[in-house]
Structure 1
């Protein structure tokens, strides 16, 4: 994200002041679209490793890849992939 900030700053330096607000809005929208496209909600059936009597629990993990999602759970749980859905940010405004 820092790289994006640097590119935004350098791009704004060449844009007249009266148009900078519009440019910022467009850049924010494009970066939001990019993040929404990348993130996915992965669903796993999980069993706690430390509890031999544990029952499976469905857990949802938001990540950019299956491996990233798996790494978030694999230390504490035995996992089984159950599905994935696109991540959608809820707008309450």
Structure 2
């Protein structure tokens, strides 16, 4: 299976998941925008974890972000913001 087919299948799965939410009435273009935002959030979180964390903490955060992508990314970025504010004494 080539890479293009894998990407198309992943996008189809994500679009179908968003459609299954039922309470959200969205079009396919809106679903695409939501998917791009979510994937960007996850990639940014993983890059941030790899750059800032060390050792076992890095592995734990990567696992959290991979197994709970949206929630894990939001939790990591929130803790990152609060730890940065704490180090600046804000």
Instruction: Give the structure with the higher percent helix.
Output: 2
Larger Rg: 1
Instruction: Give the structure with the higher percent strand.
Output: 1
Q: Which has the higher contact order (CA 8 A, sep 6+)?
A: 1
The two structures share one fold, judged by TM-score above 0.5: no
Under a length normalisation based on structure 2, what TM-score does the superposition of the two structures give?
Answer: 0.32
